[in-house]
Amino acid sequence: MSGRAQLMWDEAVTGYDFGPGHPMDPVRLALTRKLVDAFGLDREVEVVAAKAAGESTLRLVHRQDYIGAVKAASADPAGADQSYGLGTVDDPAFAGMHEVSSLIAGQSVGAAEAVWRGEALHAVNFAGGLHHAMPGGASGFCIYNDASLAIARLLELGAERVAYVDVDVHHGDGVQAAFWEDPRVLTISLHEHPRTLFPQTGWPEETGADSAAGSAVNVALPAGTGDAGWLRAFHAVVPELIADFRPQVLVTQHGADTHFEDPLAHLAVSLDAQRAVQVACHDLAHEYADGRWVALGGGGYAVVDVVPRSWTHLVAIAAGRAVDPEAMVPEGWRQEVFARTRQLAPARMTDGRWPVAWSGWEAGYDPADRLDQAVLAARRAVFPLRGLLA
């Protein structure tokens, strides 16, 4: 197996553009790629442009009628069929939508193929992680569910156990739905509580169909959760489940919208805690999945201050060349940011909270604490179904 990491990238993914004023500004992708290059990480990874996902691949997850509706809306945005979630405020139709959505999906599928076949140990597609798209509809800025398609492709290639860990601030509802009845896929989502955030799903009681009981795990965090609570929740749930499941591949989604500066949600997580979870996911892949790791992007709407730094850390960790949190952001990139956005870029690769302190679950818990209640709810819902002590 090659130890070299792959970075999946085609400049055309920046065409995933819902228009002026939409939170999903593709500048976040362009600036991330520029920052990756500014740190020289493009020389530490193999940069690969995979082909777009074809219709047979899209059908591994999506219904034929929905694919047809996306194609029609792509050719005639004004005629988009809103019954499929297309042409809405969240998911405006635009010319070429099918093609660029298929291209992003293709990068995640290509990442999964490379890792499974041993062509790369790790593969990153930070343009991916579009986890809300459903088999039959668009949702939450997501047209095709590249994360689900990557997992489905792994199963098609013969994988018997795939674990998916989603740390986006929003519930990974589309991936959960795609594998609700499939015990070969363990989906774990840590997200802001559905009472206070879209898509209003991801309750701890959602644990998978009877045929796959305990295969869906949801840690619904109280609004306002910060670094210590977020990391405590992650480590109280994820490692034990991964150790028990022993996946052949770990697929992770790293939406940066948990950040305290993100305009669309209510968690208070720093860049430094996001980096800590990226490191933890990398380590879990090595400990339990022979290093096979597919890492995806996701949400993130602080498109200058947060997203590029967070995902550059992700690429660096995958490349085995982690960027020191105290590192200065290259001046050339800061100038590029100002030229493109008229915003001042951050100066360092940290929010000043590294190393992040948190307390482990094994030391005990407080049943009156809201964060601990969220962890307990998830553990009590799922762990007994998997033969583990809650």
Q: Which residues are part of the catalytic machinery?
A: 132
Question: Rounded to whole angstroms, how far apart are CA atoms 237 and 188?
Answer: 9
Distances (CA, A) of 74 to 90, 132, 133, 196, 252: 16, 19, 16, 33, 29
Provide the residue type at 338 as one letter. F
Q: Residues 144, 71: contact at Cβ < 8 Å?
A: no
Residues 6+ apart with CB under 8 A from 197: 169, 170, 191, 223, 265, 266
In 289-356, which ranges are continuous DSSP H helix?
Answer: 307-319, 331-341
Q: Residues 318, 293: contact at Cβ < 8 Å?
A: yes
Q: Residues 215, 363: contact at Cβ < 8 Å?
A: no
Q: Angle between the 227-245 and 370-382 helix axes, to the nearest 10 degrees?
A: 10
Q: Residues 108, 52: contact at Cβ < 8 Å?
A: no
Buried b (16+ CB within 10 A) or exposed e, 354-384: bebebeebeeebeeeeebbebbbbbbebbbe
